[in-house]
């Protein structure tokens, strides 16, 4: 399961609770993976079962106790294995293209509306990616770790750009 590896990856940076993990997913991982809260908690339990992480309860004043999850040595090894092992290529899944594929049924103006809606979405995404990119610390990019994290964002930016170009072309030539 990929989610388990991503969680291990975050735990390798610092110990976290399920709640912390959810926040990290929503902020920095969201552009290439999203995680449901329920799934995070269940996966954390799994990791503990498998000995890849341990829990430590840390009481707090005025707040519920934190269930801090720490990565174990076995966990680090599993992460390393995942990083270097072969990744089976996963099939593409683009519901939007499913529509386009069958939208020969529609009137021309309806197709143009579909494309316009897609364009709006892509532009929104582009704005949010660029905003995230602008917030990154220039100094952090010199370090390989920071560079690679930023590269995942650049990946999103590159693909949104390709999407917009594709939209230009499809709209421009639609019979």
Interface with a second copy (CB under 8 A): 2, 5-6, 9, 12, 29-34, 79-80, 82-84, 86-87, 89-106, 108, 110-111, 114, 117, 121, 141-149, 151-152, 154-156, 158-159, 161-163, 165-166, 169-170, 173-175
Q: Does 97 bind DNA (CB under 7 A)?
A: no
Q: Which one of DNA, a second copy, none is in contact with 134 (Cβ closer than 5 to 8 A by kind)?
A: none
Who contacts 127 (Cβ-Cβ below 8 Å, separation ≥6)? none
Q: Does 82 bind DNA (CB under 7 A)?
A: no
The end-to-end CA distance of the chain, in Å, is 44
Q: Does 20 bind DNA (CB under 7 A)?
A: yes
Q: Does 38 bind DNA (CB under 7 A)?
A: yes
- By rule CB under 7 A, what string of x and - marks binding of each residue 115-154 to DNA? ----------------------------------------
Decide whether 21 or 115 has the Cβ nearer to DNA: 21
Structure tokens at 168: 């230009």
* Least distance in angstroms from the C-beta of 45 to DNA: 7
> What are 50-53's contacts with CB under 8 Å, separation 24+?
50/74, 51/75, 52/4, 52/8, 52/78, 53/8, 53/11
In angstroms, the CA 68 to CA 150 distance is: 27
CA dihedral 98, 102, 108, 109 (to 10 degrees): -40
* Least distance in angstroms from the C-beta of 42 to a second copy: 18
Residue that the structure tokens 């735990």 belong to: 11
In angstroms, the CA 31 to CA 34 distance is: 8
């Amino acid at each position: 399961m990929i989610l388990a590896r991503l969680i291990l990856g975050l735990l390798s940076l610092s110990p976290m609770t399920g709640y912390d993990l959810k926040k990290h997913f929503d902020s920095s991982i969201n552009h290439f993976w999203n995680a449901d809260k329920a799934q995070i908690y269940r996966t954390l339990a799994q990791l503990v079962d498998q000995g890849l992480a341990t829990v430590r309860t840390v009481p707090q004043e005025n707040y519920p106790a934190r269930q801090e999850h720490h990565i174990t040595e076995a966990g680090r090894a599993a992460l390393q294995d995942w990083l270097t092992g072969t990744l089976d290529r996963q099939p593409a899944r683009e519901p939007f293209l499913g529509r386009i594929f069958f939208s020969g049924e529609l009137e021309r103006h309806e197709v143009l509306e579909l494309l316009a809606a897609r364009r709006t979405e892509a532009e929104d995404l582009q704005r949010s990616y660029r905003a995230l990119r602008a917030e990154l610390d220039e100094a952090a990019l010199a370090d390989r770790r920071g560079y690679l994290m930023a590269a995942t964002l650049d990946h999103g930016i590159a693909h949104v750009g390709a999407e917009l170009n594709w939209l230009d072309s499809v709209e421009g030539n639609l019979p």
